[in-house]
Structure formats: structure tokens, C-alpha cells
């Protein structure tokens, strides 16, 4: 950490800062510029609260030097993490496509969709049994019955199942049925939930919050990793901006940025990233071209009757086309699909 003093800071103010640094067991490095004195703090700043300096008289601001995450960092672990989900490897040379409906709506719907996406080239099945909905009057998911249907679809198709868990006290139950525990965007900073999946023995797919920075996403991953679970898959799913033509703005920059900052696998969700099925294919290709390790795509047999997210869902035949397009791009960037 570097502490920048105000232009007219007195020696007594500087001493007060350096005394406190020493008291806390850190080293001090003083540098007097032409207009400002700056004070370097020597030691692991991750355990320091910058506020305690920012309120001192004569201090203008503090600047962090180290990234606040450690276990998620490529500096600490240079080689990429490959997460194994039953037979499927995420973070490998081969990209992974997770597909299925937003919500499990019925046994027939899910089984038919599972077969369709498998045939089109998906390697995992998604589907929500517990649904976070903006309105209390919207369909809230089938719950346990939905989990049972997902398990049946896995038994029939062999596709591993990804499904969302929304509360710490449901982690055990969902983990009995799911192969990957999904943390939704709205829960990215639900820390009790992050701790609970950190103690679970299933891989976690952590979606970036629509209001969260890349650094905050990595800090949420750090919660899971530091609670003992090394199998975290990150997912860029669009952020909220001033643009209203699309539901979210897919942060394509985040794909190469995350691949450089962390060893964890990174996938993209072009369905939520755009909110419009007409844009999903193009953005799916872009995500893979930018280096994503996979995709998560919403597919619905009859979007016109979907109980949630129909506008961003692809019909199976369009999804099959997306897979062909994505495979061509994957090969162009030296990967397979």
C-alpha cells in the first residue's frame, strides 16, 4: 500500500502515519516528491484496512499495490486449473458447451430438451429448479421435483447437470442431485452461500454479478477456494450499463483479462449477456474467439411457451447451428469443441 499525503502535510502528520504503520508490524518507506510526500507500507497489505489511514489528518488517499486475492491468482498458481465434471474437463483444450432451458418446467420438456442439446453437441445440461425472479408473482421453479427430473435426464443422456442453488441451507440437497452447483449473478456476493459451496464437494459455476468488477468476481472465487473447494468455474454473463437495447452488456474484455489474472476456467453466457436470441449466435462466436473455455446457452423447445427467459432462448435447430459456428471459430483459435 502507498499512502499519499496532502500537499501541505506537516511532519507531525507524517510521523503519526508512520508510527501507526510500525505499530501494526509493517515496514515504512518514505519518499518526498516535489509536491507530495508518499509513504510505502512494506508487508502483506491484504490484512490492512486502508480506511484507518484515510481518516488521518494530512492523508489524501491510499493506493493498493497488491491484488486482494491470492488463491485465485495466476501468480500463486501459474498452471491452469482443469475442473473435472464426471467425464467432462473444463479449462482444457476442448471447449465445453452447457445447454438447456432456463427453468425445468416439466419432465417431458426437460427430457426432450436434454436429448436435443446432446444431439446438437452439448456436453452438459443446464436447467433451473430454484429460480431467482425479480417478481414474487413469477414462476419460482419446481424445487425438489425439478432436481429429480434433472437427475433422470442425466441418467438417460449421460450429460452432467448444472443447476442453481440459492440458499446455504439448500446446498446439501442440491449437491445430492447436481454435478455442478451454480451460483447466480444476484448471489455472487451472498457470502454465506459462497462459504457453504466452498465446503461442498462438487464443482461450482460462479456467475459474475451484473454489478460486479472483475476483481470482485475473483474475490468471490477466493471465498470458495479459501473454504476448501478448488473446483471453481467462472462465468461472464453480461454487466449492467447505460445501454438499454440489450438486456446486459457482454464484457468481452473480461475473457482475456480473466485468463491472464487467474488460473480458473472461464466460460461465457451469451444468452444472459444479450437477452435477445437474435444476438446469441454472434456473441457465442465472439466469446470463443476471445479465449473462453466454454459457453452456457439457453435452449427451449418452444420459446413461445417458456415460463422464463424465452426471448433469449434458442430453439434446438438454431442451437445446433450455433454449435457448428462455434466449432469453426474454436478451431480457428487452436481449440476443439
Range 245-304, binding a copy of itself (CB under 8 A): 245-246, 249-257, 259-260, 273-274, 276-279, 281-283, 285-291, 303-304
In angstroms, the CA 337 to CA 207 distance is 22
Would you count residue 13 as binding a copy of itself (CB under 8 A)? no
With contacts defined by CB under 8 A, name the span among 91-99, 111-119, 120-128, 328-336 that binds a copy of itself. Answer: 328-336
In angstroms, the CA 269 to CA 113 distance is 18
In eight-state DSSP terms, residue 33 is -
Closer residue to a copy of itself (CB): 81 or 226: 226
Applying CB under 8 A, among 10, 241, 317, 336 the residue interacting with a copy of itself is 241
User: What is residue 31's three-state secondary structure?
Assistant: strand
In eight-state DSSP terms, residue 80 is P
Shortest reach from residue 278's CB to a copy of itself, in Å: 6
For a copy of itself, the binding residues in 33-52 under the rule CB under 8 A are: 33-36, 38, 40, 42-44, 46-47, 49-52
In angstroms, the CA 103 to CA 255 distance is 26
Would you count residue 307 as binding a copy of itself (CB under 8 A)? yes
In angstroms, the CA 263 to CA 272 distance is 24
Would you count residue 111 as binding a copy of itself (CB under 8 A)? no
Shortest reach from residue 156's CB to a copy of itself, in Å: 27
Q: How many residues bind a copy of itself (CB under 8 A)?
A: 116
Applying CB under 8 A, among 117, 161, 214, 322 the residue interacting with a copy of itself is 214
Shortest reach from residue 183's CB to a copy of itself, in Å: 12
User: What is residue 135's three-state secondary structure?
Assistant: coil
In eight-state DSSP terms, residue 94 is B
In angstroms, the CA 161 to CA 159 distance is 6
Shortest reach from residue 98's CB to a copy of itself, in Å: 19
Name the residue among 42, 9, 11, 5 with its Cα closest to residue 24: 42
Shortest reach from residue 83's CB to a copy of itself, in Å: 20
Shortest reach from residue 62's CB to a copy of itself, in Å: 9
Would you count residue 321 as binding a copy of itself (CB under 8 A)? no
Cα-Cα-Cα-Cα dihedral sign, residues 217, 231, 271, 96: positive
Question: Within a 10 A sphere around the Cβ of 270, how many other Cβ atoms?
Answer: 32
With contacts defined by CB under 8 A, name the span among 91-99, 146-154, 155-163, 244-252 that binds a copy of itself. Answer: 244-252
User: What is residue 214's three-state secondary structure?
Assistant: helix
Closer residue to a copy of itself (CB): 113 or 250: 250
Would you count residue 144 as binding a copy of itself (CB under 8 A)? no
The owner of cell 491484504 is: 46
The owner of cell 442453481 is: 164
Q: Do 99 and 161 meet the contact criterion of CB atoms below 8 Å apart?
A: no
The CA-based diameter of the chain, rounded to the nearest angstrom, is 76
Closer residue to a copy of itself (CB): 144 or 282: 282
Would you count residue 239 as binding a copy of itself (CB under 8 A)? yes
Amino acid at each position: 500500500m502507498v499512502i499519499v499525503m496532502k500537499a501541505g502535510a506537516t511532519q507531525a502528520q507524517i510521523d503519526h502515519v508512520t508510527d501507526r504503520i510500525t505499530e501494526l508490524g509493517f515496514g515504512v518507506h518514505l519518499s518526498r516528491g516535489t509536491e507530495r510526500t508518499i509513504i510505502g507500507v512494506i508487508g502483506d497489505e491484504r490484512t490492512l484496512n486502508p480506511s484507518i489511514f484515510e481518516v488521518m489528518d494530512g492523508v489524501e488517499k491510499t493506493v493498493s499495490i497488491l491484488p486482494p486475492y491470492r488463491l485465485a491468482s495466476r501468480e500463486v498458481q501459474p498452471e491452469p486449473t482443469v475442473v473435472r465434471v464426471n467425464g467432462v474437463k473444463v479449462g482444457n483444450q476442448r471447449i465445453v458447451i452447457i445447454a438447456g432451458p432456463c427453468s425445468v418446467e416439466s419432465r417431458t420438456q426437460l427430457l426432450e430438451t436434454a436429448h436435443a442439446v446432446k444431439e446438437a453437441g452439448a456436453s452438459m445440461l443446464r436447467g433451473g429448479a430454484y429460480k431467482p425472479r425479480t417478481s414474487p408473482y413469477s414462476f419460482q421453479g419446481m424445487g425438489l421435483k425439478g432436481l429429480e427430473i434433472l437427475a433422470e435426464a442425466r441418467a438417460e443422456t449421460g450429460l452432467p447437470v448444472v443447476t442453481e442453488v440459492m440458499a446455504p441451507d439448500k446446498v446439501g440437497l442440491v449437491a445430492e442431485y447436481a454435478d455442478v452447483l451454480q451460483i447466480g449473478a444476484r448471489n455472487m456476493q451472498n457470502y454465506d452461500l459462497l462459504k457453504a459451496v466452498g465446503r461442498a464437494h462438487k464443482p461450482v459455476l460462479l456467475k459474475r454479478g451484473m454489478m460486479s468488477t472483475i476483481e470482485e468476481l475473483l474475490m468471490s472465487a477466493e471465498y470458495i477456494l479459501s473454504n476448501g473447494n478448488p473446483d471453481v468455474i467462472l462465468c461472464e454473463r453480461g454487466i449492467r450499463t447505460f445501454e438499454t437495447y440489450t438486456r446486459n452488456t457482454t464484457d468481452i474484455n473480461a475473457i482475456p483479462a480473466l485468463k491472464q489474472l487467474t488460473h480458473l476456467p472461464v466460460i461465457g453466457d451469451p444468452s444472459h449477456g444479450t437477452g435477445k436470441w437474435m444476438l446469441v449466435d454472434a456473441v457465442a462466436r465472439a466469446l470463443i474467439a476471445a479465449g473462453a473455455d466454454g459457453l452456457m446457452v439457453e435452449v427451449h423447445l418452444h420459446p413461445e411457451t417458456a415460463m422464463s427467459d424465452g426471448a433469449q432462448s434458442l430453439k434446438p435447430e438454431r442451437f445446433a447451428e450455433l454449435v457448428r459456428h462455434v466449432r469453426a471459430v474454436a478451431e480457428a483459435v487452436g481449440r476443439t469443441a
